[in-house]
Amino acid sequence: MKTGLVILREQAGHETGSHPENARRFPGVIDRLGEDSESHGLPVLESRAAEVEDLARAHTESHIANVRAAAENGPTWLDGDTVASPESYNVALRSAGAALVGVDAVSGPAKAADSLFAIIRPPGHHATADRAMGFCLFSNAAVAARYARERLGIDRVAVLDWDVHHGNGTQDILYNDPSVLFISFHQWPLYPGSGWIDEVGVGEGRGFTVNLPMPPGSGDREHIEGFNAVAGPILDQFNPGLLIVSAGQDGHVADQLASQNLTAAGYHALAAASAGFAAGKGIGLLALHEGGYNPNTLPLLDHAVYAGLGGFTPDLAGDSPAPETGDNGWPERLAQIRRAQSAFWAV
C-alpha cells in the first residue's frame, strides 16, 4: 500500500499563542514523518489554497466572509475556544486545499498513492456550516467529501472520525446527505456534548450517521472492537468510492484534553484497519489531521498512523503505557450501539 504525505508548510501563520492548538504541534511531526517518507521512498506533496467555491460546498457564504473578516481584524476570538489571527484565513484555505490535493492524489486521474496523510492545521471537524468552534474554522473533511462528489464524480464517500471529541461540525454539514457516510468514535461525555447513539441523520440522510460514544477510559481494545463490530461492517455495506479519515490522536493516554487510554499501537491498528479496508475495496484513503495536543508524543503517534497506512513496521519505543482499568461499561455500550444501528445496517 503506497502512502505519502501532504504538508502544509505555512501552518505557523495561524498564530494562536499559548492555546493548546498551536504552531508547536507539528514541527516534530513533520521531521519524523519526513524521515519515514525518505526511508520508504514515499511521496511528499504540497498544499494549495482552496477556492471560496470549494468552501461553499460545505459552508455558508456568510460564515466564509465572517472568518475572513475576523482574521483581517485579528487576533479575534470567534468563540471561547477558537482564535483567528491575521494569517488564519489564508492558512485555513491552504489547510482545506491540502485536503483537496489529497483527494486528487488518491482518487483523481493522476493518482499518486493509495493513501495520503495530510498534516494540517487549523483542524476542521467542529466547524459547522455557519459557525467556527472548537479550534476549527472550516470543515476540511466535509469540504473534501463534497469536492470528491462534485468534482470527481465519486458517488459515495465515507468519513471515519477517530478524534477523541465528536466531529459535530462534519456531522452537522452531512446530516441529511445519504451520499456521505459519517462514522465517529469519541469519548462520551466530553466536549462538544453531541454524538450520542440516537443521532443517526435526518431525512434522506437517516441511517448515514453512525456514532460510537466511547466510555471514559476506553483504549486500544475497545476502539478495535468498535471498528470490527460496527464501523468496519457498515463501511463494507456502504461500499464507498473514497474513505476520508479525520485522524485526531488526542485520545492517547498522555494527551491532556481527554480521559482515554489509546496507545501508539492502537492508532497503528486503527490506521492499518482503515487502509486494509480501502485496499480491499480498491479505493483511495485520505487521512486529515485533527486533534492531538501533546507535542512530546504527537510525532510518535503520527508515525504510528503513517506506518499503519503504508504497511510498514512502526517504532513504538518510548510510548506511554495504558493503565490497567476495570469495567467501564463498554460491553453494554457496544450492545446499545449495535441495536441502534441494526435498524439500518447488518451489525
**Residues 297, 287: Cα–Cα separation, whole Å:** 19
Q: Please identify which of the residues 14, 59, 126, 268 carries the catalytic annotation.
A: 126
Tens-place pLDDT, residues 240-299: 999 999 999 999 999 989 999 999 999 999 999 999 999 999 999 999 999 999 999 999
Task: Give CA–CA dist 223/290, Å, rounded.
Answer: 17
Residues 238/230, Cβ–Cβ less than 8 Å: no
In whole angstroms, what separates CA 43 from the centre of its chain?
Answer: 21
Instruction: Give the SS3 label for residue 124.
Output: coil
This prediction's pTM: 0.98
Alpha-carbon dihedral 326, 249, 303, 157, rounded to 10 degrees: 110
pLDDT of amino acid 7:
97
Check if 126 is active-site: yes
Q: Where are the domains of the chain?
A: 5-341
Q: What is the mean pLDDT of residues 179-198?
A: 98
Q: What is the CATH number of domain 5-341?
A: 3.40.800.20
The whole-number average pLDDT for the span 288-316 is 97
d(Cα 47, Cα 99) in Å, to the nearest integer? 8
Determine the pLDDT at residue 110.
84
Distance between CA 30 and CA 231 in Å, rounded?
29
138-157 pLDDT, tens per residue? 999 999 999 999 999 999 99
